[in-house]
Copies of this chain bind each other. A is one copy, B any other.
Amino acid sequence: VEYQVLAMLSTSPERTMRLSALAEVTNASLSRLSHLFKRLEVRGLVRREPDPVDGRFTNGILTDDGFKTLAAAAPGHVAHVRSQVVDVLSAEQLRRLGMAADRIMSRIDTSEIN
């Protein structure tokens, strides 16, 4: 999830995303994301800013250090996922795995009582 957060931020405009949006795309709870983001912040990889438009939102921003750290980690991370997951399945199998996972996650999301 830490990698996902850094990666999502790196491809976003201004390298910025709302924490609630990050929680949603990573399928993490808001509480988990808040703790996780704090750890990244302590390490200097991200920072927070209240949304100037709507103060309820908090914007997460990737720092230059965070971008460098992501860039350094990416090749190894991608290679690892490829060798452990992607290369083990056919293109068709991988597509079907993704579809099944999406179905299950959306079912869980809609049935949850918060």
Contact = CB atoms under 8 A, between A and B. Distances in A.
Majority secondary structure, A binding face: helix
Interface residues of A, number: 16
A12 interface: no
Contacts of A111: 83-84
B104 A85 contact: yes
Contacts of A89: 100, 103-104
A108 interface: yes
A97 interface: yes
11 contacts: A83-B111, A84-B107, A84-B108, A85-B104, A89-B100, A89-B103, A96-B96, A96-B97, A96-B100, A97-B97, A97-B100
